[in-house]
Structure 1
Amino acid sequence: MFSVPRLSLCSTKENENRETVLTCDASMKGLGAVLQQRQDDGTLKPVYFCSRTLNKSEHNYANIEREALAVTWSCSRLEDFIIGKCITIETDHKPLVQLLQTSQLTDLTPRIQRFRLRLMKYSYKIVYVPGKHIVVADYLSRQPIVGLDNSTDELAEETMAYVQEVINNIPTTDENVMNAMNAQAKDDIIKEICKKIETQWERPKTNDPLLPFFHVKDELSVCNGMLMRGSRIVVPSSLRNDMLHRIHMGHLGITKSRLRARCALWWPGMSTDIEQFIKKCPICIQHQNNPNEPLITSELPDRPWQKVCSDLFKLDNKWFLVVSDLYSRYFELCPMSTLTSSEVINKMKSIFGRHGIPEMIYTDNGAQFHSSFTSEFQKFAREYGFSHRTSSPYHHQSNGAAEAAVKIAKVILKKNEDPFLASLVYRNTTIPELGKSPAELMFGRKLRDVLPMISANLKSSDYDDNCFRRRDSCYKENYKRNYDKRHRTRPLRELCEGETVWVTDLQTEGKVVKKINVRSYEIQTNDGQYRRNRKFLNPYLVYSKKVVKPAMQSNSNNYLWLPTQNDIVQHNNTNTQQGDTNISQANPNVQVSCEPTQVNVRRSLSDPNIQVSSHCFQSPVQACFQSPVQASSPTTRSRSCESQDNSNQVRTKSGRVVKPP
């Protein structure tokens, strides 16, 4: 009696060349589907039956959403049979024919949109079939077999197999794996995590050492007694310092070391630990190149010839002295017979006799411009009543205005048979960005040259000083912005007295004696005292090597080396003095480079003016420094020349300080 229906329900072997029909249906209890193929006689024979119950959230779906879920789930469940084939999907819910086929995605509800997106990888055609003709799918949806879907168990088995395969292929030796397993077995936190994984894991309290692991609890698993995060071994606190040394064994950078570690290891805060470990690596510090700092700026002098800069240069085996005005960009050029201080002084006396004595002169740290109190040049400065400031040795950018004048002077000497006439042409040529020539800014009138000019143009004329200052400020701001962008500048932190540094050009270790000016420091080495710019100094990050152990042996924030009060370098408040005086030079024809300004100034924790509680010691950088403080105002572009107080010391050209007899 039931032989015919029984035979009609028996599944047949799947044939990829035959027409495939997928019939889906949904009810208040579950989902059902049957995959059928059309036989040679034109009848449909079942190939696969599937059904499942609805979960708690799916019970709240609207009827149309349950029907769409049935189509989406059945396609995903039978993907091995239908992927790459054009199939026909039968449903007894007529609106789905348009919603899942021709409607615009923007016209669909969010849930139907997601179903539609999941179906995009299949090639299908949806047709409407009355419910009385899809009795098999309807029955499967109304009588789903609870527990028949073993996808969760299968997923767990597949995950464990994958983890085991990863462990077997980790790029390490069995001995290292055994050491990690033994260390995990002795770590109280990891043992507690392994227990939590097997049971329900509730959110820990704020101070609970398990909290950093809770955020990745869905990725944690235990395989053969080893705690893993995905395919990576969870490193206990006792092995982290050793792992940091292994990760940084090749002395690669922070990014590459992180990528190397992420292949096999994990612990909370690993990326931060790697960064701090590399930053305090002595070998990396010695070979580190400091970035360019932002361009330093200063205000324009109040009047012409108030502040000047000077430098010596050599061209075709001849030496020349250049003295340039920082207001007008007007410079004087003098040939030198010798390179003694007396010869430099005589040339300057001749220039000052024509233009007057300036208030301030900026030079480099050459032997002719010794800044000690007893030097010949300082006696000349006291006699004529002007101040003298020098820049750091081997850092010509600090005296950038003089370097710009040297550049123009070399062009004049190389290209012209008559350098005096060429100098006159330069002084009489208008600077486009400023609207005035150096001669007009210096003398208030144009100078007569070889070009025919009416007498009215050679008379003194007033110019708007405020307008000139605005144009000068605008030009300097634009230049600074372009310079910082082009050189990708980044400020370096200020050094403190007593801080240990590596002097890159001397290839030796030293300690900061005092800060002379912004970015200029007095350094004590085994060979003596030297003055160097900040770009030549790489500070060591000194920390206490005492490991702080919490109550449960490990904590995500406590396994780092923490600084002690003796390790942190004392900050000398007397160093908070006026920074390097900035020399303004706005010649648009010359590329300007100068000693970058210190923008990010950090203060030591041991500063007596700073109150710090013990909870602030979260990481080495947070423990050592406070928030950055703005230093200088980038309102104008200029050349920098570091100020230096006169003292009873003799400084050589290399910057070494020698006590006079």
Structure 2
Amino acid sequence: MFGRTKEEHDENLRAMLERTRERGVHLNPEKCVIGATEVSYFGHKLTREGIQPDPKKLQAIKDMPPPENKNELETILGMANYLSRFAPRLSEVNAPLRQLLKQDSEFIWDQNHDRVFQQMKDLITREPGPILGYYDTTKELRLQVDASKYGLGAVLMQDGHPIAYASKTLTPTEVNYAQIEKELFAVLFGCKRFHTYIYGRRVIVESDHKPLEHILKKPISVAPARLQRMLLQLQRYDIEILHRPGKDIPVADTLSRKPLLDQDSALSEGMEDQIHSVINSLPVSDKKLSEIQAATRCDPQLTLLRQTVHDGWPEDRKKCPKTLLDFWNFRDEISHFQGIIFKGDKIIVPTALRHNMLERIHTGHMGIERSKQRARDALFWPGMGKDITATVENCSICQERRAANPKEPLIPHQIPERPWQAVASDLFTWRGQDYLVVVDYYSRYFEVERLFSTTAGSVIKKLKAIFARHGIPEKLISDNGPQYSSREFKDFAVIWDFVHTTSSPLYPQSNGLAERTVNTAKSVLDKAHAQGVDPYLSLLEQRNTPVDGFRSPAQLLMSRRLRSVIPITGYQLSPRIISQTAVQKTRMERQEHQRQYYNRSATPLPRLQQGDHIRFQHESGSWKPAVIVRPAETARSFLICTGEGQTIRRNRRHLRGAKASPAPSAPTSDLVTQPDSAARQQAEPLSPSRDTTTPTMDTSPALTTRSGRVVKPRVILDL
């Protein structure tokens, strides 16, 4: 029982009790609450201010753990949706969770779902939450509507207080509506959803889309064809559109799951006038219009389509002519006028003119998606999107100037089992002087040596000094600089008995540790120079500083701390064996964390096989035609033959498939050409690829045809 005052409440209660006595109804005193200012009822709390969600239900949602399967997720979403009237944007927020409920979706819960799940709970349980007012038939009604990219939202207001919220998720077709269509659709959606409240009453509809004011003031016949359907359905309501800036309309862009069906057969009335208006506004000359009309008359498919539209479509799709099946799904949108066939307000292009239209569409050499958008603005034919895709992909100008490939998933270097087992080396210049850096993969301890010459002999001399102090590593990793690719360095590797591995040319990420160490060394030298301190003391402290909160490079390499100018006890300087298991575990955990972080935005590239026509990214950034010769022995690297007949090695990230590339001539040499020293890249923060050994070329005689072309055996790669 309800009363605005205590006297009214008591009077209503007395009348109810007398009625129960007359009818013989017995009430349980323990379950009766009398004289309360608020009461919980079916998950809602009814107060003098309005309707609120029950705090007990909100607490249950706050304590709710993440679901472990689809059934639990359905239960959680059902409970949340019960309170959706208090949670604007709920459907938009939990849309990623609802994707997991699809029949063909596997239930895989990840960090993104955890984030969305928490956002949904925060949205429902936020304090203070919205309070829905009680509907009053005597007060003015205002309907606030809005449309986002993927959904519609509406809220019914009285005296500035919400009475009810509503939301709708747009279908894939509705998502492609123009914005004005979505905005008018939001008006129609709000009116239909709140039909019980607003039918027969004057309603002010508030929207942030200014053109709606003018459209509803004009006759329906002059409105765009697709808007006329919704305008006709709005005729039953007494509404007035009022434009309000978006910041003044607190309407949530909510999304719901229930679609609206539009089956009004009266929408076809007046279509001829609409098409006539479209023809008069077509941005084409009379000559081109006559050309389209003539080509349409000569096109057998469009001739049959025009006849079918005139005579009427069959009731069953099976009875539809096979040549017109491509038009079946949007048959209600097709019309013809003055010898031209339209899909909505778009011209259906005859087959004979489609090639010419594709050339016109691609005149600006836009990308695939932008070219499709340009074409869909005015034209249509079945398969137009595929034709545009093929046109752009076969355009040599576009292919040569495409953007770089995305990064691939990370392949971390193998963690060494002991100190100084594998090292990386690189050269850098600091304040006009050349330096050599060598870093240990196990301990991250690095040596810096000044070079008075960047020749191979000078580099080898410094490496010998470093190896004499720490021992000869099993593996040395470097880039493809001329010092490391020389015959002298290869002989040095053989005599000193270590494996020399080079990264892919022009791809410094595969020697990432050396590149990052160069940055560290430059930073240490820069700061020491700026402060005016001895750079060797700075290097000493760097080697004594723990890495990742674990051990210092000196401890991992030498099992002891190094004495520096910082006071330290003799006990701390005593050698202590560092557990290799602990080092391996720490390195693996750190490596796995980096791999997961890096791979969030990484994309595997399609496989390439021997003989594939491809394009490789030149140093200038353009893409040049080439052919895959064979995979190199280094990870994600290939030997390719360029258009000039040169055989070079490139990383997979610098290669992309090409459907129509000119075949380059046969390779003139089996030697891998090395890049100029000026082409050596600067450091990058993380290594997305790893190379293992310097490629060894096959020097066996190549099979050739009578014309001189090289016969390459087919190889199926398992990358």
Counterpart-to-counterpart distance in 2, 1:188 and 1:568: 39
Of residues 549, 555, 562 in structure 2, which corresponds to 1:447?
A: 562
Q: Is the 8 A contact 2:348 2:379 kept in 1?
A: yes
Of residues 477, 482, 491 in structure 2, which corresponds to 1:362?
A: 477
Look up the match of 1:388. 500
Shift of 1:205: 7.4
- Confirm or deny that 1:252 pairs with 2:366: yes
Q: Is the 8 A contact 2:635 2:691 kept in 1?
A: no
Q: Is the 8 A contact 1:363 1:399 kept in 2?
A: yes
Shift of 1:484: 4.8
Query: Whose Rg is larger?
Result: 1
Counterpart-to-counterpart distance in 2, 1:342 and 1:277: 53
Counterpart-to-counterpart distance in 2, 1:329 and 1:431: 8
Shift of 1:456: 2.4
SS in 2 for 1:204: helix
Counterpart-to-counterpart distance in 2, 1:504 and 1:378: 27
Shift of 1:360: 1.0
Amino acid at match of 2:443: S
Look up the match of 2:460. 345
Counterpart-to-counterpart distance in 1, 2:485 and 2:425: 13
SS in 1 for 2:586: helix
Counterpart-to-counterpart distance in 2, 1:112 and 1:165: 30
Look up the match of 2:660. 542
Counterpart-to-counterpart distance in 1, 2:193 and 2:536: 84
How far does the alpha carbon of each residue in 1:522-577 deviate from its partner, in whole angstroms, 9 at most, with x for none? 3333273333334444542229xxxxxxxxxxxxxxxxxxxxxxx999xxxxxxxx
How far does the alpha carbon of each residue in 1:149-179 deviate from its partner, in whole angstroms, 9 at most, with x for none? xx99985452111112112212223333333
How far does the alpha carbon of each residue in 1:66-112 deviate from its partner, in whole angstroms, 9 at most, with x for none? xxxxxxxxxxxxxxxxxxxx99xxxxxxxxxxxxx9xx8799xxx99
Q: 1:183 to 1:360 in 2, by over 3 A?
A: same
Q: Is the 8 A contact 1:205 1:211 kept in 2?
A: no
Shift of 1:478: 3.0
Counterpart-to-counterpart distance in 1, 2:165 and 2:462: 82
Counterpart-to-counterpart distance in 2, 1:453 and 1:115: 77
Q: Is the 8 A contact 1:282 1:540 kept in 2?
A: no
Of residues 263, 266, 271 in structure 1, which corresponds to 2:385?
A: 271
- Confirm or deny that 1:191 pairs with 2:191: no
How far does the alpha carbon of each residue in 1:614-650 deviate from its partner, in whole angstroms, 9 at most, with x for none? xxxxxxxxxxxxxxxxxxxxxxxxxx3453224599x
SS in 2 for 1:323: strand
- Confirm or deny that 1:437 pairs with 2:437: no
Shift of 1:327: 1.2
- Confirm or deny that 1:167 pairs with 2:279: yes
- Percent sequence identity over aligned pairs: 34
Shift of 1:346: 1.6
Amino acid at match of 1:251: H
Look up the match of 1:181. 293
Look up the match of 1:532. 650
SS in 2 for 1:392: coil
How far does the alpha carbon of each residue in 1:449-485 deviate from its partner, in whole angstroms, 9 at most, with x for none? 2222222222232444334333323323333444455
Look up the match of 1:117. 195
Look up the match of 2:244. none
Of residues 638, 646, 649 in structure 2, which corresponds to 1:521?
A: 638
Of residues 563, 583, 592 in structure 1, which corresponds to 2:685?
A: 592
Amino acid at match of 1:120: I
**Equivalences for 1:276-287 in 2 at 5 Å?**
276-287=390-401
SS in 2 for 1:388: strand
Shift of 1:259: 1.7
Of residues 323, 330, 337 in structure 1, which corresponds to 2:438?
A: 323
How far does the alpha carbon of each residue in 1:263-299 deviate from its partner, in whole angstroms, 9 at most, with x for none? 2111223223323322332111111121440343233
Q: Unaligned 5+ residue runs, structure 1? A: 1-85, 88-100, 126-150, 544-566, 570-589, 598-639, 650-661
Shift of 1:121: 7.4
Moved more, 245-254 or 192-201: 192-201
Look up the match of 2:23. none
Q: Unaligned 5+ residue runs, structure 2? A: 1-139, 142-157, 167-188, 204-262, 665-682, 700-719
SS in 2 for 1:362: strand
- Provide TM-score, normalisation by structure 2: 0.54
Q: Is the 8 A contact 1:322 1:406 kept in 2?
A: yes
Amino acid at match of 1:176: K
Q: CA RMSD in A?
A: 3.6
Counterpart-to-counterpart distance in 2, 1:217 and 1:443: 79
Of residues 518, 526, 529 in structure 2, which corresponds to 1:406?
A: 518
Counterpart-to-counterpart distance in 1, 2:193 and 2:457: 90
Counterpart-to-counterpart distance in 2, 1:369 and 1:115: 74
Look up the match of 2:112. none
Q: Is the 8 A contact 1:322 1:333 kept in 2?
A: yes
SS in 2 for 1:215: helix
Counterpart-to-counterpart distance in 1, 2:190 and 2:369: 42
- Confirm or deny that 1:424 pairs with 2:540: yes
Look up the match of 1:611. none
Q: 1:378 to 1:193 in 2, by over 3 A?
A: same
Look up the match of 1:643. 693
Shift of 1:115: 7.5
Q: 1:247 to 1:112 in 2, by over 3 A?
A: closer
For these two proteins, the number of residue pairs brought into alignment is: 430
Look up the match of 2:428. 313
SS in 2 for 1:593: coil
Counterpart-to-counterpart distance in 2, 1:404 and 1:158: 70
Counterpart-to-counterpart distance in 2, 1:310 and 1:352: 12
Amino acid at match of 1:542: A
**Equivalences for 1:25-104 in 2 at 5 Å?**
none
Q: Is the 8 A contact 1:286 1:538 kept in 2?
A: no
Counterpart-to-counterpart distance in 1, 2:357 and 2:659: 20
Look up the match of 2:448. 333
How far does the alpha carbon of each residue in 1:208-245 deviate from its partner, in whole angstroms, 9 at most, with x for none? 34222111111111222322100111123333333222
Q: 1:648 to 1:186 in 2, by over 3 A?
A: closer
Q: Is the 8 A contact 1:370 1:378 kept in 2?
A: yes
Counterpart-to-counterpart distance in 2, 1:116 and 1:421: 77
Q: 1:593 to 1:106 in 2, by over 3 A?
A: closer
Amino acid at match of 2:494: R
Shift of 1:364: 0.7
Shift of 1:430: 0.5
Counterpart-to-counterpart distance in 2, 1:206 and 1:156: 21
Q: 1:177 to 1:411 in 2, by over 3 A?
A: same
